[in-house]
Amino acid sequence: MLTAKQTFLYGLFFSSVTVLFWGMLPIALKLSGGFSDPITLTWLRFSVAAIILGLWQWQRGKLGEFKSLSKNDWLRLFAAGTFLIVNYTSFAWSLNFLLPGSAQLSFQIAPLFLALGGLFFLKESINWQQWLCFVGIGLGMLVFFHPIFGQGSQGSIWIGFAIIQMSAAAWSMYALLQKSLFKHLAPSNILLAIYIYALVVMLPFSSPSELLKMSSDDTWIAAFCCLNTLIAYGAFAQAMRYWQTVQVSASIALTPVMAFILTEFCVAFGWWSDSISSSHADMLSLFGMLIVVISAINVQLISARVQRKAALLTKSLSEAA
């Protein structure tokens, strides 16, 4: 049985890994556009993740968990897989209408969807202080990405924004369905089932022959995208296990900030200069980033305090009984 401090630290670690790898992913996807279409690359990522995770679970003797699943559990697994496929493909599709920064900014509605889903479906509570922090995260994101608002034509921006909302809603539903299955399956087995399901469903719409034409550099980029899928979603699943949905959703809101930092890091070192360019953030954007960081940290502190109070109350009631 983990202590409250250990639970908090485990959640913090896995949330941080998730943010780091999701922050790196847009850069890798940007580089992959030259040798593969989004659906084929997504199919490859799911396929590699399914093979590696399947072998790992088989070696550890963990596949027996699937025998205890009911029909309803399998339906929830397939639904979660479907929502994750929609999330992946629609986000990639939105990049035809939005710049990467605009897409990342628009996708930040997902943490709010996730928190609301936790409130209505999982009966998790959100107090007024947490709501205030979410408002701060939203305002900070708007300020942080303010230089991009005038880019692109109005029509394409609205189409891209609508597609991103669909992607964010699908991702939130996937996350909630995944959390509802934790009593029956380990996070790694949930992901394994979803990866195998996506591998089969997406195959008719992908073009694996494209992957045979990759250069050595392209292969490294594709390999990183595949490992990113395995590591990021594995860490996310573990974070959802140790933290409340509202805590994880606040942490994920830091992903665009991480993407910005990593992009500027690539620009500073001259890596992939033909594909990666600076966002030229001004002082107002940096101030927005500060608002996001402070708001996200406060959500963690508030949530941890609420958990401690609940634990003390439960202990007091038990002793009284």
114: containing domain: 4-320
Residue 126 pLDDT greater than 80, yes or no: no
Task: Label residue 155 by pLDDT band (50, 70, 90).
Answer: low
pLDDT classification of 197: cutoffs 50, 70, 90:
very high
Q: What's residue 134's pLDDT?
A: 79
Q: pLDDT tens digit string along 268-277?
A: 888 877 777 7
**Placement of tokens 């300020």 in the chain:** 143
Mean pLDDT throughout 99-106? 67
Q: Which two tokens stand for residue 56?
A: 């790992």
- Tokens standing for residue 80: 């979660």
pLDDT at site 151: 55
Query: Beta-carbon neighbour count of residue 48 at 10 Å?
Result: 19
**Total number of domains constituting the chain:** 1
Give how far the C-alpha of residue 84 lies from the chain's centroid of Cα atoms, to the nearest Å.
10
| pTM for this prediction | 0.74
- DSSP-derived letter for residue 51 is H
Which comes out higher in pLDDT, residue 158 or 195? 195
| CA nearest to 246, candidates 306, 314, 183, 164 | 306
